[in-house]
A and B are shown apart, each in its own frame.
Chain A
């Protein structure tokens, strides 16, 4: 059934349909409608909504609730996302599933509180200190906001790690007529297949960390942000620390093929390849389709998974399509471009950035100009 829905509301609906039972957050434009919607919906689904004292409290409450067995998420924008960084590392180290939705606005600092930016890509991937696993998804329209909120919640639980949804102000606030797909449901926690005395919370099963058991079922284990052994207790033994960090830092790569999603559009015989994410991906699609109608050989890739990056896939596409140049429009000073350049190291193809941060979407003419004359 089609409905006209705002992006932030679709995010909340996606979360509820996936089985979300806990949300804690702090109001911040342009994400507040997610909180407002969930404050209304969660109590109707045996869930909890909490407005915390700040974003640090919010993400820690989310970690606590998730540990206690309630699928949990928070939503914020740049300033709040910055405050959450330490806790993202904790969730990664302690392997507690959480999802953070960042509806990006222009930064740095307070920046443009009510206007679009896409400058948090690097922070989403590498924001917390130390090397850590994280998956980052980015929707470009209302329907995708619904879908990727669910995928983020799903993969957080599946891989026991933080996942991030990078939307932006336009995706969050635009209203679209949407036909919502079948929901992706968060996996339920089950009892480990070993008795409590043999349970090791950080042991692996087919290379993945064991699932978290529900509370109050006889399992008592220790959770820490310090380096630890399989039993969860702190260690400084170099071999054990290495084992842990190696495992954490290969977690995402081990599942890259399942995690990576992107859309290709009119790639065949494309001489110019446009790569763009979030709202600019949608704008770019419009530009590409218009130019195709005019007979220009131009194609588009919209990545939905920003991390793990679709490095191998991109280099395969480029090997097959042989574009003469690549254009990367984004509302920042070249964060996605840097990833593209890294992915295409060894190809002698110019990567042209279309960058403008002034509170608006980049005008289609600027993208067209870069495609035709850049």
Chain B
């Protein structure tokens, strides 16, 4: 059971790929049609929030399950 989850607002994402660069768990992939980021492997998220911290487009939200250890 995963403790974290990630979402990308594709309306805001500008396909720069910085989340792909910083994620230690390969959560993101840039989709073929427009290069925007998709959290294809969200189950692997460890909640480090590096993607959230670096995303220049305010597109990423990282969620924590209530009660989970950060």
Whether A and B touch directly in their complex, counting CB atoms under 8 A apart, is answered as no
Q: Taking beta carbons and an 8 Å cutoff, which residues of B are in contact with A?
A: none
Residues of A within 8 A of B (CB): none
